[in-house]
């Protein structure tokens, strides 16, 4: 009597072992795909990262004592420069593509006499920052350099460009992650400015 398994039975057993060996990989792929989908939906579809709330909103802005951007002909950015003024603090860098996209809107905002626009130059080279501002224009009344990102950490920067509206008493009123566009200026920033001015008056 032949006790050896038939060729079809051998093939089925071999295939079963092959499938069993692939199960962990398939399980990992499903988990990774689900996690990626959740992150995509949260950051792109389900949640607008430009309006992520900041724990600092409603609190005093972290102190600033940053060195001036050499050659910019602008003073250093310090807390004293902002004191008593409604200030928009913009975190930017020459290597940041969205910073370049929003720059024309910052130039327009710099013409608004109601606000003081200042810049934190984040992890940038001095010559590159100067070239960036020389090419696109310099909207800032004061600029401080943040070569190691310490100020950005203190301010809870999520990703540049990033902007903070700070009240004359130093309270952070509004935060914008990502570049300004005409809609965000009209529907978010300007109402925040108007509200701050009304409260001040």
Measured CA to CA in angstroms, residue 194 lies from 35, 118, 191, 201 at distances of 41, 19, 5, 11
At 127, which helix (H) or strand (E)? helix 126-136
> Among 27-31, 44-48, 164-168, 191-195, where is mean pLDDT lowest?
44-48
Backbone Cα Rg of the chain: 26
pTM, entire model: 0.74
* pLDDT at 13 exceeding the cut of 90: no
**pLDDT score of 35:** 37
Structure tokens belonging to residue 52: 């992520």
Mean pLDDT of 111-123: 97
pLDDT band for position 50 (cuts 50, 70, 90)? very low
**pLDDT score of 200:** 80
In terms of CATH, what superfamily is 50-200? Glutaredoxin (3.40.30.10)
**pLDDT score of 42:** 39
Mean model confidence pLDDT for the chain: 83
DSSP E strand stretches across the chain: 87-92, 116-122, 142-146, 162-166, 172-177
Q: Give phi and psi for 45, each to the nearest 5.
A: -95, -45
* pLDDT at 41 exceeding the cut of 50: no
């Amino acid at each position: 009597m032949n006790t050896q398994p038939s060729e079809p039975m051998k093939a089925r057993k071999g295939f079963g072992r092959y499938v069993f060996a692939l199960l962990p990989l398939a399980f990992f792929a499903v988990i990774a795909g689900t996690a990626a989908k959740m992150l995509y939906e949260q950051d792109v579809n389900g949640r607008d990262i430009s309006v992520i709330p900041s724990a600092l909103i409603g609190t005093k802005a972290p102190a600033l004592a940053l060195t001036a951007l050499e050659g910019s002909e602008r003073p250093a950015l310090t807390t004293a420069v902002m004191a008593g003024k409604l200030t928009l603090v913009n975190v930017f860098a020459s290597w940041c593509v969205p910073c370049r996209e929003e720059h024309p809107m910052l130039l327009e905002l710099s013409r608004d006499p109601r606000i003081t626009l200042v810049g934190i130059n984040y992890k940038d080279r001095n010559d590159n920052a100067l070239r960036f501002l020389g090419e696109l224009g310099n909207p800032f009344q004061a600029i401080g350099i943040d070569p190691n990102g310490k100020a950005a950490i203190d301010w809870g920067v999520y990703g540049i460009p990033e902007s903070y509206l700070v009240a004359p008493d130093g309270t952070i009123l509004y935060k914008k992650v990502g570049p300004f566009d005409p809609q965000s200026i009209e529907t978010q920033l300007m109402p925040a400015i108007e509200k701050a001015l009304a409260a001040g008056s």
